[in-house]
Amino acid sequence: MAGESSGKKCGDGDGKVAGKSQRKVGLVYDETMCKHDTPDGEVDVECPDRIRVIWKKLQLAGVTQRCVVLGGSKAEDKHLKLVHTKKHVNLVRSISTKRKDSRRNKIASQFNSIYLNGGSSEAAYLAAGSVVNVAEKVAEGELDCGFAIVRPPGHHAEADEAMGFCLFNNVAVAASYLLNERPDLGVKKILIVDWDIHHGNGTQKMFWKDPRVLIFSVHRYDDGSFYPFGDDGNYNMVGEGPGEGFNINVPWEQGGCGDADYFAAWDHILIPVTKEFNPDIILLSAGFDAAIGDPLGGCCVTPYGYSVMLKKLMEFAQGKIVLALEGGYNLESMAKSSLACVQVLLDDKPVQCSSGTYPLESTRHLIQAVRKRLCVYWPSLAEELSWKLVDQKTPTPVGHLSSCLPFPSSLFVGRESVVSGARTEGPNLTVLPSLEPRSTSHILPHSHLSVTKKRKAPASGSTSSRRFSELEDVIVEKVLPSFQEELTGMEFEDRIAFGKESSFKAIVMFDHLAQENRELRYKISAASDALMASNEKLKNLSAERNSADALLREVEELKSLLAARDGELEAKRKELKAKDKELEARLMLVGAREDEMRGLRAKIESLLRERNEGVAKAERLDKELQEDRPRSRLENDDTDMDSEDEDIETLSQKFKKDINLVFEKFRKDTELFIGELKKEREHAITAAVITTRYQVCRKWKSQGTLSGELKFAAEVYSKLRSLVEEHGKSHIYPCVEMYEEAWKEFVGPRHHPTVTVKT
């Protein structure tokens, strides 16, 4: 990692292991990241004290001395651009250069739940670079595991957008860096676990199509009404293309989920899938806003719960795991949960403390739905689940829950009380404290801070809770005062008797109400099952209807395309028909030309006969001259004989010359004519082939090559017309071979006659 270090290391470790520890655990903390704050100094839940209290808690517990303490490292732009756009990286880098807060506020107003100040850029670069640095050291083997205590958080940040307190997606940058920039480390598969109460929408989108990264996110969803809102966090969002099946969402439909619910999600979804995936390293988006008392989460995970979840993950990837701080806004609860996790990294025993409850009824239905959706990708999820989801024979170890939580023990009530939310009762049932914050006047009006925005699903057991609340009011306001009035003036023994009688009546009344409450809870559970089944059917019907609508639209588009193609074919058919007629006319001209050629052939034969007759006549005359020359020489004088010989030889030479000129001219004209016929024949054959191809033009339509074939035909016809216009011809001649054979038969073998004159 070539990132620039800030040089501000904190803690006692100073980059070396001060104590004896079997595991090398890296801790990243840098005070510079506290410079990122609200511009006007108002108190926000995502405040610098978040990382300060964690670091102080670790120091007081003495774990920093047993760890390798690392300072912050600034990320490099080229590594940030692996998951973010160039425009977004430049924007975050330029924040600190704005001299006025008003300009930064204007930029922040463009995003959802974002504030900026002069230290935001440096803190964002340190947060991303520090996670990359510790992940690289763990992958190299220099560290066994690590915890990056960084801010601002990152899992909401998308490729081109900051949101939900997040500027850069720290975990996504680290994962992409290991996969794409450091192939030499041998990291080919990465598991990203996100237990922040809010869905990590940014991380999901960045690896949506990447099968090298398995993303598991457990978060509140509330039917899309919990931040960051929308359908991205639904369990049906499983990835796309090569990454299909590698995105797993476990969306709680209500608040109040605790250790048992998270353990069930781990044991019945995450752990089986992780065994199949077998990652090389695990990156954990460690948000602690699902912890008890968090003002945004509304859930009740204990430090013990976080330690158990982390311990289960340590069984994979040879324990190579990196935690990166995300959310968490109750400072005390977040600090205790962080300490519990670091103790697990150091191989300490988890804190023995738990609520002892079993999962909510809605958790059971949700886990079954998630397994059903994912079993096509992960065979280990195909088995049917038992309704219990946990082993009631071996309940989770129970300690004093109040010692683990940031609340006074006076907030807890007895073990026989009824927990709202239709939670399945198990042994050692303990009531959890109220999840509402004592005061929210200090919280800034970010949409991120709203537990619900559109609608809030009521707890399935709210009716029974309301009945006991009303009963409590009646007891306090009416029953107790009446008891006091009746007890006034009574003797001690009478008071005892009255108390026993009243206690018996109260026991009978409470037994009746408890029975009524159990029946009501059973009915609510049955109604909930029926409602979930009905909702599932409605979702399936809606999906089928959407699929049918899409198919109908596709059919209509195909019909329109076929109609357009039919029109195009009809036009081309008419054009080919016209060309066919033109070709027929030209073939008729060819026939006429053949007749003309037959006449020319007869004329050639006549000329040849005349030539033969002339040659024969010349030979006969020459013979006669040879025979008559001695006799003529005796009868005539020498002068007359010489004159006659000269006349005959002159006549013979003139005849020979005339014959040679005629045949030479005839031969050249014939060769030129035959050459033109060959060229025209080739184009005629090409035109005839194209005409024949029209018969199968509808087969071309299914192959998608119709337009190319018609274009080729048009080009050939254009060349043919250009040739005709160039040579002034209006006909096409086939069968040129016939005329070539005639030439070879009658002209080629012949020789010009020779006349021999004897002196």
Distance CA 565, CA 562 (A): 5
Give the integer Cα–Cα distance in Å for 42 and 49: 13
For helices 638-693 and 492-635, give the axis angle rounded to 10 degrees.
170
- Tell me whether residue 727 is one of the annotated catalytic residues: no
d(CA 197, CA 327): 8
Look-up of token digits 């994962």: 175
Helix 492-635 and helix 462-474, axial crossing angle in degrees, nearest 10: 160
Q: Please give the Cα distance from 640 to 632 (Å, whole number).
A: 9
Residues contacting residue 194 through CB under 8 Å, at least 6 positions apart? 155, 200, 203, 215, 216, 217, 218, 219, 284, 285, 287, 326
Buried b (16+ CB within 10 A) or exposed e, 86-116: eebbebbeebbebeeeeebeebbeebbbbbb
DSSP secondary-structure letter at 209?
T
**Contact assessment for residue 408 and residue 308, using Cβ atoms and an 8 Å cutoff:** no
How many whole angstroms separate alpha carbon 106 and alpha carbon 471? 53
Given a contact cutoff of 8 angstroms between Cβ atoms, the answer to whether 339 and 58 are in contact is yes
Classified as helix, coil or strand, 189 is coil
Residue type, 667: R
Strand partners for 26: 68, 146
From 36, 156, 268, 731, active-site residue: 156
10 Å CB burial of residue 639 (0-12, 13-18, 19+) is: exposed
Residue type at 552 in one-letter notation: L
* Torsion over CA: 405, 407, 409, 415 (sign): negative
Smallest Cα–Cα separation from 264: which of 277, 281, 252, 254? Answer: 252
Question: Do 30 and 15 touch, CB atoms closer than 8 A?
Answer: no
Residues with a catalytic annotation lie at 156
